[in-house]
Amino acid sequence: MGQDKRRLRLWGPTAPTLLEHTCAVLTPLCTATLVVFADAEDAAAWHLPGIQAVWDAAPDAGVPAALVAGLQAMATPHALVVAADLPLLNAALLTALRDDPRPCDLLVPRALHTRTRNAWHAEPLHARYAQSCLPMLQAMVARGQRRITDLLAQVQVAWFEPEQTRQSDPHGYSFLNINTPSDLAQLQAVLHYNPEPNTFQRSEKTDHEEHEGR
């Protein structure tokens, strides 16, 4: 992208940054919000009132290291985990993930479309993680495994199927991220028809925390 996408102001020059917007969506849903930064210097560059800042357990170790840092810092048995570059998060979908009663280590949505980045069609950066994932994630970091999808074969996974996602998010906009200029163009096309940030329904806080990868 050539810029820090967390600082994008997608809804106008005076609107919140993407990271601020993400925190605002998540905070009403859970007992605490954590943001996982690359390091202490990265964390110090942000002013996010009410947000707990932590940073990676190991430098340049990918998403598993970020999850280790977040899970170690949280005080609850589960966390809603989202990437920091998902502008169209949907509170109803996040609430459904939070409240799903199935016992599992990882509750992860399947993508609505088969054109995904992994063979599982999984969205592991928009998912619910249990503390029980921590030992496996720590082992992945120690082995130098950077792909978060490698975790799927090591834990008890429950799948949030596309038909469940469509009940809250018919088009799967929650999973649109920004990695390339073409991703940004696609997002701007969506925002052309819905120029305001999503209106999110507040729900009661429960015994969950959430944290975000970079």
User: Among residues 213, 202, 198, 214, which one has the least CA distance to residue 27?
Assistant: 202
Residue 201 lies in a domain: no
Structure tokens at 13: 């020059």
Q: How far apart are CA 127 and CA 111, in angstroms?
A: 12
Asked if the model's pLDDT at residue 207 lies above 80, the reply is: no
Rounded average pLDDT over 137-160: 97
Any domain includes 71: yes
Confidence category of residue 120, pLDDT binned at 50, 70, 90: confident
C-beta of residue 212 within 8 angstroms of C-beta of residue 84: yes
Kindly state whether residue 48 falls inside one of the protein's structural domains. yes
User: CA-based diameter of the chain, in Å?
Assistant: 45
Query: For 84-112, what is each residue's pLDDT tens digit?
Result: 999 999 999 999 999 999 999 999 999 98
* Residue 118 CB neighbours (<10 A): 14
The CA distances from residue 97 to 80, 180, 206, in Å, are 8, 28, 12
198 in any annotated domain: no
Neighbours of 38 (CB within 10 A): 14
Instruction: Look at residue 199 and tell me if it is in a domain.
Output: no
200 belongs to a structural domain:
no
pLDDT score of 118 more than 90: no
Which of the 8 DSSP states describes residue 158?
E
% of the chain at pLDDT higher than 90 = 72
Asked, for residue 119, whether it belongs to a domain, the answer is yes
* Angle made by CA atoms 144, 65, 56, in degrees to the nearest 5: 130
pLDDT-based confidence at residue 60 (cuts at 50, 70, 90): confident
Q: Is 119 helix (H, G, I), strand (E, B) or coil?
A: coil
Number of domains in the chain: 1
Domain extent at residue 101: 5-193+206-212
Strand partners, 109: 160
Instruction: Pick the more confident residue, 148 or 117.
Output: 148
pLDDT at 208 over 60: no
In 3-state terms, what secondary structure has residue 159?
Answer: strand
pLDDT of 119 higher than 60: yes
Using one digit for the tens of pLDDT, what is the confidence trace for 161-205?
Answer: 999 999 999 999 999 988 888 888 888 888 876 644 443 332 333
What does the alpha-carbon distance between residue 65 and residue 73 come to, in Å, rounded to a whole number? 13
pTM for the complete prediction?
0.88
Q: Can you give the CATH number for the domain in which 72 is found? A: 3.90.550.10
Does residue 32 lie within any of the structural domains?
A: yes
* Residue 114: per-residue pLDDT: 67
CB 51 within 8 Å of CB 212: no
Looking at residue 123, what is its pLDDT?
96
